[in-house]
Amino acid sequence: HSVTYDIDQKYKTPYHSRYLSFLKQAQEKNVIVAAAMTDPKGDRSKGPSAQDDPDLFTHVVERRPDGVVIRGAKAHQTGCVNSHWIVVMPTMRLQEADRDYAIVAAIPVTDKGLTFIYGRQSCDTRALENAGSDIDQGNAKYSGQEALIVIDDVFVPWDRVFMDGEVDFAAPLVDAFTTYHRRSYVCKTGVGDVLIGAAAAIAEMNGVAKASHVRDKLVEMAHLNETIYGAGIASSHESRPTRAGNFINDDVLANVCKHNVTRFPFKLARLAQDLAGGLVATLPSQHDFASDETGPILKRLLRGRSRNDTEARVRMLRLIENMTMGRNAVGYLTESLHGAGSPQAQRIQIERALKLEEKKGFAKTLAGVKE
Amino acid sequence: HSVTYDIDQKYKTPYHSRYLSFLKQAQEKNVIVAAAMTDPKGDRSKGPSAQDDPDLFTHVVERRPDGVVIRGAKAHQTGCVNSHWIVVMPTMRLQEADRDYAIVAAIPVTDKGLTFIYGRQSCDTRALENAGSDIDQGNAKYSGQEALIVIDDVFVPWDRVFMDGEVDFAAPLVDAFTTYHRRSYVCKTGVGDVLIGAAAAIAEMNGVAKASHVRDKLVEMAHLNETIYGAGIASSHESRPTRAGNFINDDVLANVCKHNVTRFPFKLARLAQDLAGGLVATLPSQHDFASDETGPILKRLLRGRSRNDTEARVRMLRLIENMTMGRNAVGYLTESLHGAGSPQAQRIQIERALKLEEKKGFAKTLAGVKE
Amino acid sequence: HSVTYDIDQKYKTPYHSRYLSFLKQAQEKNVIVAAAMTDPKGDRSKGPSAQDDPDLFTHVVERRPDGVVIRGAKAHQTGCVNSHWIVVMPTMRLQEADRDYAIVAAIPVTDKGLTFIYGRQSCDTRALENAGSDIDQGNAKYSGQEALIVIDDVFVPWDRVFMDGEVDFAAPLVDAFTTYHRRSYVCKTGVGDVLIGAAAAIAEMNGVAKASHVRDKLVEMAHLNETIYGAGIASSHESRPTRAGNFINDDVLANVCKHNVTRFPFKLARLAQDLAGGLVATLPSQHDFASDETGPILKRLLRGRSRNDTEARVRMLRLIENMTMGRNAVGYLTESLHGAGSPQAQRIQIERALKLEEKKGFAKTLAGVKE
Amino acid sequence: HSVTYDIDQKYKTPYHSRYLSFLKQAQEKNVIVAAAMTDPKGDRSKGPSAQDDPDLFTHVVERRPDGVVIRGAKAHQTGCVNSHWIVVMPTMRLQEADRDYAIVAAIPVTDKGLTFIYGRQSCDTRALENAGSDIDQGNAKYSGQEALIVIDDVFVPWDRVFMDGEVDFAAPLVDAFTTYHRRSYVCKTGVGDVLIGAAAAIAEMNGVAKASHVRDKLVEMAHLNETIYGAGIASSHESRPTRAGNFINDDVLANVCKHNVTRFPFKLARLAQDLAGGLVATLPSQHDFASDETGPILKRLLRGRSRNDTEARVRMLRLIENMTMGRNAVGYLTESLHGAGSPQAQRIQIERALKLEEKKGFAKTLAGVKE
């Protein structure tokens, strides 16, 4: 929104009205639009146009009277296979030589030129086991997935092109996008709430819910989870209007929020496994529980506090396995690390915003240092 | 505000209008009012009225037609000696037998019945050294202090009594007070900014400001500091109105804010000392720098990157010493731990607000556990 | 060794010579003997003989002239399916009423009365995919497994019984066993070395091996790993001879070693995933790399620094996935938490050995406190 | 020992026998010898001979038939004022141009050419208060101190010169010295034991010794303290003989030991202050306790669990203040950070010893990567 507005102000381009028109349609039809930013990148010491292979970053290969032809790829695209549209965007600051890489355009996921190559995930094939494996899947209702999107000469008409060649606006676009995106990682606190609930439930089933160390671990999990939440809410609270009229949240707090997301879910996962007990990693299959031969034995031996809760206990253990080592660990742990930028990306952004001269000034005033 | 309102609603008492009248005067005269809550407490396994010595908690010893007579003490009173008024309040949940301890009343600090016994602080006597010791003091402009206030039969007229005997409102008062107070500990991020500035300044004077590990440590300091800040801002953002019409901030986030304050300043202090170098603890006195005999030697030998910055470097090291081991460490470290409640007090409050049934419900839904 | 010796000393039993004879044979035949300690435990607030179901702890059901008949189960038995013998042992301190539960006996894994019910593991079925999935398995050479051993009326002749009814020696047995066992968790530092190597290798393939934050993360991984190692070595160094003549390592340092094992591998796993990049969780299957249709595209797009290292990079990412979320995460993370006792078990043992009176004495001497 | 031996082997010098002779005398007379290594260093981006001021590193200014004349300074010299001899040594790797800086020599502390300029410490002047302030000092028996030693043309006869100009042996000397020295920081665990004891004692006096969070914090303190201890013991256990016949401990574990010393005492200090309660920073002076006017009041109000323990409680709080903010905090916290090298110095050494090629080889073997 704000970047198309700013480009238009500088270059008298028509991007902002195109964007508003696309947005209006998307809202009317209630469609999901996936932001496709991350290019494969190849040799990370070189920029887009300096790579051996030009297609390691998405770029324009032809400009026609009615639109552009785009080639390249976007990696790590969470949720793209259940979206209606993707919007490709540059993934980094660009130089003059990278003009063809400064492209923002909306493409329907049904475009023939798009290929989605699905990523494997920990425990992915449990979802393909026969219908009776819903318990072993841990969470048979929800999961995520990532795909590599290959873009093979896709034509996009001008009314869906929102940047083309304005290399000086790649960095502002990336900055605005990551400011929103990093704050949005507060979503992991919802997953954290589930994991805290699972840890509390399994502790209860194990008959140890009242032990002081158990209660203390649940408090620690909540404290860390709410710490993430606080930075996210604060980032939104300190939003300010852009020139285009929309609001943008606070950059430092968005990075702080995301940076804590790269740290705390790993601590919550460890604490959840601690409260689960070793059975979280040694539990037999649900088919062994269902078997006439082994089922009765397992139900006797693997009961918790109450004789009747064996299945509930097994289900809760499988959920914790799923969230800490299985399919949802991909989203809760690895994506928490790398989504919207790896830890170092946040540190760079925090460093940029350190205002060290101001802070050194505070210290010098108090220390009585004159310059 | 809200508690006097709620008492009046239940007991038809006149506390709220008395409070508003006191507040109005305080604002008109621009006076500082110190909240005096913490009693000495004696044997912590017993409540106020069960102590061997009745004066270990502040209480009413006589009720007269024109007011009450109060006796007891308040400990750890930060800033009381530079306030105009103190308002005594109960420090904990009270029982029926503790009726005389349910007292809230405003007392001018000049009342003859008050005695202030000043606490010692690390490096307190540096402030008493001869006038030329401003550098060795580290921060010659600001410091804090704590005192024990002994209350020896102080008479308070009814118009300055805001609670007297309503034991059921002691707990709500403490809850509301700590909710505000714990969020207010976001103030330590201002001190944190000074310490980050001091660490950056000394790194520069040492000639190592560009070293990657130095830059990374400054980023970590800022990340931790802003994490505290985020929870504080978020707590205020999620305020809701009380029945009395004023707003109260979010309890969980206030506790999370304060709990991080009990942790992170110790990490910032360690990082600041790391960047300062060992000289922060081995530096000779400013009088040795001023001496004709040793001064020229010290100025030659203890210079940093530039030949002319020795005094500035010494001043900055003394500021860091002051904030991490000296007078201001009392406020930045110890008070961050214990002010507005020690760490365990926040954990108890976070545990009360865990909403475990709701969270277990989330987990059970996803795990397919039916009850 | 030492416990059979001590029982014999007290009760004139013949256990020690039986044990030595069994040990000699085991060494001569070079067999693997699995220590089977952990019972299913049922309701954790009750001891073995107080359970509703007597078989929740392993016990003697019949004594014959030529030996004993044993029934029960042992849970979480790492490596039992690739051992030749199991030796069952009590899992906790026993009371007089638990006499039948005080049984130590060696059973060959081929005994008809034993049933091994295999536990599922994260990504277990990848090992069952067609032969071409060696890359996707991450580590096609090694993995571990756990099983529940059901013991259904197994007869053991007297010469393989090493304790029968001496309940007062259950606690010393558990103490000696955990002292050895917790120190043995230093083995995880070998796994840690592999993970450090994998993280270094993938950083190099990604072209970022020289970045200061990458180097710093490798140092941190090594520092944590060697910290575990140090406590293990120290525990052995401070061994002392038992009355039986064998040596036993230091208890406190063994617990400290294991307790760090419950913490640091989770940190190493997070750092390894950080250095791996997001691809560790979004990488397509090796079959997509082998496919004529998608293979050439993937090899172009998912190359690292060099054009020719795509397969090596994929292999390294799969190894990191395997160790942090897949089959070997079970051993490196979950078993590090719970094997040889969950974190709280070590804290209890450390608390028992605190020697607080001695330490308080040191403090009182320095503070000038007289008693 | 080993370096003089190695120099002699290469250059046919007589250093080793001189050293042995000096050592023998030192042992016979039971004298304390301070190792004086750290030079002031000036501009840290330049080596000794490249400084503007040649005296920022200790060096030879004249060679006479009977010995050498030395000038310069040594900073941060812990314990030098209570030693009998100092031995100056180079502080870093030297270049050919630094020949005059490659000097190792023993100097009696009474040499007229030495000046000791004493450093200030947090709370240093409490030790100068009148004799009745022993309680306020926290630890009236022991403390440390640091001094800057100025070396102003000190003559040293040849029999006390152990290196002169062999620049290629400066780095081996520093390496050997830091390997011993960093391992020796295990001494801080003795201080840690005192602090654990003080924390346990004050918790008991406060009447909260049985609270689960209090017990857990003492366990955490001990766990951290013993973790340091483990690495130190292990470093010694893995010693190996040098060519000279003496033994040198393991370098990596020595650095790991010291690196944990830079981290954990700050955590122990925070936990000790947590258990102490806020009074550790707000306690009145012992003179207020002794005063006829305020003493009786303070003894009543600041009692702990028992009526008679007020003085003991005050003493214990002052000890904790002393160790976490006062004179002994200099040794327990700041010196733990910087003594024998600041944290980054250990990380550099750990990085040098990473054996990454070996570790990458492990990972490549398991991942099936062929080179």
For position D307, what pLDDT does the model report? 72
8 Å CB contact of C351 and D218: yes
CA distance C145 to C81: 8
What are D255's two structure tokens? 């650095």
The 10s digit of each residue's pLDDT in B253-267 is 999 999 999 999 999
8 Å CB contact of C280 and A334: yes
Distance from CA of D334 to the nearest CA of A (A): 20
Per the CB < 8 A criterion, the answer to whether A57 and A67 are in contact is: no
Local confidence band at A368 (pLDDT 50, 70, 90 cut-offs) = very high
H-run or E-run covering C110: none
CA angle centred on B328, ends B323 and B332, rounded to 5°? 80
Q: Is residue C306's pLDDT more than 80?
A: no
Local confidence band at A141 (pLDDT 50, 70, 90 cut-offs) = confident
Indicate the average pLDDT of chain A.
95
Q: Which residues contact D48 (CB under 8 A, 6 or more apart)?
A: D39, D56, D57, D59, D92, D94, D98, D101
H-run or E-run covering B108: strand B103-108
Averaged over A45-63, what is the pLDDT? 95
Would the pTM count as exceeding 0.80? yes
Distance from CA of B219 to the nearest CA of C (A): 12
Three-state SS at A192: helix
For position C158, what pLDDT does the model report? 98
The 10s digit of each residue's pLDDT in C53-89 is 999 999 999 999 999 999 999 999 998 999 999 999 9
What are D239's two structure tokens? 């010693």
Q: Is residue A182's pLDDT more than 90?
A: yes
Indicate the average pLDDT of chain C.
95
User: Which residues on C lie below 8 Å from D194 (Cβ)?
Assistant: 359, 362-363, 366
Cα separation of the two ends of chain A: 44
For position D309, what pLDDT does the model report? 83
For position B43, what pLDDT does the model report? 82
Averaged over D175-201, what is the pLDDT? 97
B240-241 and D59-64 beta bridge pairing: unpaired
For position A303, what pLDDT does the model report? 85
HSE-up of residue A6 (Cα within 13 Å, Cβ side):
15
The 10s digit of each residue's pLDDT in D292-318 is 999 999 999 998 777 778 999 999 999
Percent of chain B with pLDDT over 70: 100
For position B205, what pLDDT does the model report? 92
The 10s digit of each residue's pLDDT in A184-196 is 999 999 999 999 9
For position B73, what pLDDT does the model report? 98
Q: Is residue B77's pLDDT more than 80?
A: yes
Q: Please state the φ and ψ torsions of residue B162, each to the nearest 5 degrees.
A: -115, -5
Cα-based distances in Å from A107 to A70, A145, A161, A163, D12: 10, 20, 9, 14, 80
Closest CA in chain A for residue D211? A212
CA distance B145 to B61: 30
For position B177, what pLDDT does the model report? 97
Distance from CA of A237 to the nearest CA of B (A): 7
Chains touching chain A through at least 3 C-beta pairs below 8 angstroms are: B, C, D
The 10s digit of each residue's pLDDT in D93-135 is 999 999 999 999 999 999 999 999 999 999 999 988 876 789 9
User: Which residues on D lie below 8 Å from C343 (Cβ)?
Assistant: none
8 Å CB contact of B334 and D280: yes
Per the CB < 8 A criterion, the answer to whether A265 and A332 are in contact is: yes
Local confidence band at B240 (pLDDT 50, 70, 90 cut-offs) = very high
H-run or E-run covering D159: none
Per the CB < 8 A criterion, the answer to whether B215 and C212 are in contact is: no
What are C127's two structure tokens? 């090992």
CA nearest neighbour of B151 among B121, B107, B185: B107
**Pairs across A and C, CB distance < 8 A:** 200
Q: Please state the φ and ψ torsions of residue B242, each to the nearest 5 degrees.
A: -90, 175
The 10s digit of each residue's pLDDT in B127-165 is 888 767 899 999 878 888 999 999 999 999 999 999 999
Chains touching chain D through at least 3 C-beta pairs below 8 angstroms are: A, B, C
Which segment of A16-30, A102-116, A118-132, C1-15 scores lowest on mean pLDDT? A118-132
Chains touching chain B through at least 3 C-beta pairs below 8 angstroms are: A, C, D
Residue C328's CB is within 10 A of a number of other CB atoms, namely: 26
The 10s digit of each residue's pLDDT in D263-296 is 999 999 999 999 999 999 999 999 999 999 999 9
Local confidence band at A132 (pLDDT 50, 70, 90 cut-offs) = confident
Q: Is residue B125's pLDDT more than 80?
A: yes
Percent of chain C with pLDDT over 90: 91
Place of tokens 């030079």: D39
For position C308, what pLDDT does the model report? 73
Q: Is residue C331's pLDDT more than 90?
A: yes
Q: Looking at this protein, which amino acid is placed at residue D338?
A: H
Which segment of A231-240, A335-344, B38-47, D344-353 scores lowest on mean pLDDT? B38-47
Q: Kindly report the length of chain A.
A: 371
Percent of chain D with pLDDT over 90: 91
What are D85's two structure tokens? 């001899």
User: Which residues on C lie below 8 Å from D259 (Cβ)?
Assistant: 223
Local confidence band at A200 (pLDDT 50, 70, 90 cut-offs) = very high
C59-64 and B103-108 beta bridge pairing: unpaired
Which segment of A214-228, C98-112, C307-321 scores lowest on mean pLDDT? C307-321
Identify residues of B whose CB sits under 8 angstroms from chain C CBs: 212-213, 216
User: Which residues on B lie below 8 Å from C213 (Cβ)?
Assistant: 212, 216
Identify residues of A whose CB sits under 8 angstroms from chain D CBs: 212-213, 216
For position C329, what pLDDT does the model report? 97
CA distance A180 to B232: 21
Q: Is residue A307's pLDDT more than 80?
A: no
Averaged over B219-225, what is the pLDDT? 98
Paired with A105 in beta bridges are A88, A161
Averaged over C319-335, what is the pLDDT? 97
8 Å CB contact of D213 and B347: yes
ipTM: 0.96
8 Å CB contact of C213 and B213: no
The 10s digit of each residue's pLDDT in C237-248 is 999 999 999 999
For position A178, what pLDDT does the model report? 96
Q: Is residue B370's pLDDT more than 90?
A: no
For position A106, what pLDDT does the model report? 98
Averaged over D327-337, what is the pLDDT? 97
Local confidence band at A308 (pLDDT 50, 70, 90 cut-offs) = confident
Place of tokens 């990696």: A75
User: Which residues on B lie below 8 Å from C216 (Cβ)?
Assistant: 212-213, 216
Distance from CA of D253 to the nearest CA of C (A): 7
Local confidence band at A316 (pLDDT 50, 70, 90 cut-offs) = very high
Averaged over D143-172, what is the pLDDT? 96
What are B30's two structure tokens? 């621009």
For position A369, what pLDDT does the model report? 94
Averaged over C175-203, what is the pLDDT? 97
For position D308, what pLDDT does the model report? 73
Local confidence band at A128 (pLDDT 50, 70, 90 cut-offs) = confident
